[in-house]
Each structure stands twice: as structure tokens, then as C-alpha cells.
Amino acid sequence: MAGWEDWQAKLAEDSEKISQHGHLCNKPSFLLLRLRPTATERDMIGNIRSRYSWELEIMARNA
């Protein structure tokens, strides 16, 4: 699960930096190396929305 933890930590760190620096951000995006995000990864959309009022876009690679 190290990959997920790395992704989650990176998302949390980047989101906090964007917020602290007061950058305008309506829709941050993250690229996944698999076709579809997991349910847990999709839950991150709700976490980002509730904490920062942003719509997180999770993009998956093409087949």
C-alpha cells in the first residue's frame, strides 16, 4: 500500500501548500497510472471538497 500512502501524502501536502499560499485553485488534478481510481481514491475527492471547497479531478491513464 505504499503507493497509495505516497499519493495521499503528496495530495495532502500539495493541497495545503496551495491553500497556505492563497493560490486560486478551483480544480486540482492528479494523474493515476491505472485505468480507474479505487473507491478510497474517489473518497479523496470528497475530502478535498470539504476541506478546501475544490473539485479534485482524478485522471486515469488511457488503456
Question: Is this structure's pTM higher than 0.85?
Answer: no
Mean pLDDT value across the chain: 80
Mean pLDDT of 10-21: 89
Question: How many other CB atoms are there within 10 angstroms of residue 6's CB atom?
Answer: 10
Contact at 8 Å (CB) between 56 and 30? yes
Mean pLDDT of 8-21: 88
- Is the pLDDT confidence value at 63 over 70? no
d(CA 41, CA 54): 15
d(CA 39, CA 53): 20
Query: What is the span of the domain harbouring residue 14?
Result: 2-20+28-60
Which residue has cell 488511457?
62
Q: Would you place residue 62 in the very low, low, confident or very high pLDDT band (cuts 50, 70, 90)?
A: low
**Tally of domains within the chain:** 1
